Structure 1
Amino acid sequence: MEISFIGAGNLAWHLAPALENAGHHINEVYSRQLQHARQLIHNLYDTQTHSDLNFADSPSKLFVLAVPDDALDDVCSRLVLPENAMLVHTSGSQPLASLERWMAVYSDVPVRTGVFYALQTFTHGQSFMAFDTIPLCIEASDKETEDKLVEIGQEISDTVYLITSGERLTLHTAAVFASNFTNHLLALAHDLALSHDLEFDLLRPLIAETFRKGLAADNPADVQTGPARRHDLTTISRHLDLLTNEPRLAEIYQVLTESIKRKYSR
Structure 2
Amino acid sequence: MKLKDKAILVTGSSQGIGLAVGLAMLREGAQVVFHSEKPMSKCGEVIKAIGTPNAFYVQADLSKEGEARRLVQVASERYGPLDALVNNVGTFREPELLAVAKKDFEAIFSLNVWSALEATQEYVRINQKAGRGGRILFSSSLNGTRSEPGHTLYDASKGALNALTRQLALELAQLGFTTAAVAPGLIETPLTDFGMKSDPAVREAIRKQIPIQRIGTIEDVAEWYVFLASDAAKYATGQVVAVDGGLDAQQMAFRPIAHSER
Give the TM bin, normalised by the shorter chain: 0.3 to 0.5
Structure with greater helix percent: 1
Greater RCO structure (CA 8 Å; 6+ sep)? 2
Point out the structure with max Rg over C-alpha.
1
Which TM-score applies when normalising by structure 1?
0.45
Query: What is the TM-score when the length of structure 2 is the normalising length?
Result: 0.45
